[in-house]
Amino acid sequence: AQSVTQLGSHVSVSEGALVLLRCNYSSSVPPYLFWYVQYPNQGLQLLLKYTTGATLVKGINGFEAEFKKSETSFHLTKPSAHMSDAAEYFCAVSFSGGYQKVTFGTGTKLQVIP
Amino acid sequence: KAGVTQTPRYLIKTRGQQVTLSCSPISGHRSVSWYQQTPGQGLQFLFEYFSETQRNKGNFPGRFSGRQFSNSRSEMNVSTLELGDSALYLCASSFTGRQTDTQYFGPGTRLTVL
């Protein structure tokens, strides 16, 4: 079965500092990997996704993530945090083939300190 | 282009009642997925519909059911409500429902069971 582990339910960074949100997955077949962001009282918005090809994926709002098969990781980074980045972030995994049945991580709440 | 809409946004019910939630996907999207989000269990996949057919189902009891209409609008129903059904119910749509498709989420329906 596929699973996702997000290390750290809460992460605090200073404005302008590097953002690093960790995600490790478990999958016996090549995964598709996603990062979503959720602002209070809103649904989820896709930040970026890895399906095939280039392992460094660039997304919206300056975020990027790198798929590392050897480490089974898909960490999310942003060079410089903005106050508007404060939100909850979810890593998710699904399998190639078949249809939507995405498994989400437990989420990481990002706090940006001015 | 209008986003995914969910109605109602907030709902309060009592134990034993039933409830129906509605989701209108983005125009042209034929796949609709439903998720339950709770603080304790996080985001969990309920089911996915495509062309009025349920293609995938998560691990939820039979009290949770859904359907999709010919215009791709979807409803989910929960019968005999329990306190533990209190959650944010999210709907997501995509063109085909394939794993590589981007899912677009609605703002959710917050259900409170008293």
Confidence of residue B16 (pLDDT cuts 50, 70, 90): very high
The arithmetic mean of pLDDT across residues B38-51, rounded, is 92
**Residues of B with Cβ-Cβ distance to A94 under 8 angstroms:** 99
DSSP annotation of B46 reads: E
Do B99 and A41 make contact, defined as CB atoms within 8 angstroms? no
Of chain B, the percentage scoring pLDDT greater than 90 comes to 85
Decide: A21 and A13 in contact? Cβ < 8 Å: no
**Residues of A with Cβ-Cβ distance to B42 under 8 angstroms:** 104-107
> Is the pLDDT at B38 greater than 70, yes or no?
yes
Of A28, A14, A31, nearest to A82 (Cα)? A14
Task: Specify the pLDDT at position B30.
Answer: 95
Confidence of residue B93 (pLDDT cuts 50, 70, 90): very high
Distance from C-alpha of A20 to C-alpha of A27, rounded to nearest angstrom: 22
Confidence of residue B96 (pLDDT cuts 50, 70, 90): confident
A41: contact with B, CB 8 A cutoff: yes
Do A100 and B56 make contact, defined as CB atoms within 8 angstroms? yes
Of B110, B95, B98, nearest to B26 (Cα)? B95
- What DSSP assignment string belongs to B29-87? --EEEEEEEETTTEEEEEEEEETTEEEEE-S--TTEEEEE-TTS-EEEEE-S--GGG-E
Number of H helices, E strands in chain A: 0, 11
Could you tell me how far CA A8 lies from the centroid of its own chain?
Answer: 12
CA angle B88, A86, A38 (to 5 degrees): 25
A5: contact with B, CB 8 A cutoff: no
Least CB–CB distance from B108: residue in A43, A96, A107: A43
Best of A91, A99, A108 to substitute, by most chain B Cβ atoms within 10 angstroms, is A99
Residues 53-112 of A with CB under 8 A from B: 90, 94-107
Confidence of residue B4 (pLDDT cuts 50, 70, 90): very high
DSSP annotation of A99 reads: B
Per-residue model confidence as pLDDT tens digits over A38-76: 998 888 999 999 988 889 999 999 999 999 999 999 999
